[in-house]
Structure 1
Amino acid sequence: MYTAVLIKGKTYAVMGHVFLLNQVKEIEKKVFQYLDGNEFFNCTEVKAPVDDSKTDDQPKEDDKPVEEEEEPQQEQKIYTETELKDMKKDGQEAVIVDLGGDPSEFKNEGERIAFILENQEQQEKTGE
């Protein structure tokens, strides 16, 4: 697994990802390779924890299931219309990308907000 953090500038869009300043995003290896060494990013390769279950049948007290640590990152924030109206265009576009949309398809703020609200509802109903 790889992560990247935008450390300079406000936003940066590359290979289907929109980065906001100081936001940690999981990325694919090819995006990592492209961004690694870019002065605007801090890129890291996150190593998977070593599986000690073969040598030790009893879990240690400080062992935590991996799902507990990763779950908050995967949770999608639900935005209200007011929050979306208070956002700048680049923030709205970042939310659209996170929802699987293409920001270039929208002509104005109203269309962006309508897309976000509609897709959030659909994801809540399907449990994604």
Structure 2
Amino acid sequence: MYTAVLIKGKTYSVMGHVFHLNQEKEIEKKVYQYLDGNEFFDCKQLDVPADDPKTDDQPKEKPSEEEEEPSLEAKIYTETELKDMKKDGQEAVIVDLGGDPSEFKNESERIAFILKQQEKAGE
């Protein structure tokens, strides 16, 4: 079993899960592997199987470039995709881009910020 706790930001949406600040959530191994090492999360693996050769004492192997998940790259969202998102999804993107979701009053302000930050990052 795996758990994750959002420790920075207000909300974070990833792989069908919506995380809220300081709320522990049970997650699948795939989500754990994606979030482990992310500074916004505290991830834990509970009940490690006895036959599992990996332990917390051993350093984790870094994946080769071919094995790295392409989803770790910053996703570029279109205005239409952002409008189709719910508020918490937009807020998670804002957190990913280094913003504070509480600074925005409505959807259009959130979308404008995201598009502006993506444009800056692409330069």
Q: TM-score, normalised by structure 1?
A: 0.57
Cα 1:67–1:94, aligned 2, differ >3 Å: closer, same or farther? same
Cα 1:71–1:28, aligned 2, differ >3 Å: closer, same or farther? closer
Higher RCO by CA contacts (8 Å cutoff, separation 6 or greater): 2
1:100 is matched with which residue?
98
- Which is helix-richer, 1 or 2? 1
**Which structure's CA Rg is the greater one?**
1
| 1:36 counterpart = 2:44 | yes
- Indicate the percent of aligned positions where both proteins have the same amino acid: 55
| 1:14 counterpart = 2:14 | no
Is there any run of 5+ residues in structure 1 with no aligned partner, and where? 7-11, 39-44, 50-64
Map Cα deviations across residues 62-119 of structure 1 (whole Å, 9 max, x no partner): xxx7122226133111111111001000000111111111111111101100000000
The two structures, once aligned, show a CA RMSD in angstroms of 3.3
2:83 is matched with which residue?
85
- Count how many residue pairs are aligned between Structure 1 and Structure 2: 94
1:25 to 32, 35, 40: 35
Q: TM-score, normalised by structure 2?
A: 0.59
2:3–2:45 CA contact under 8 A, matched in 1 = no
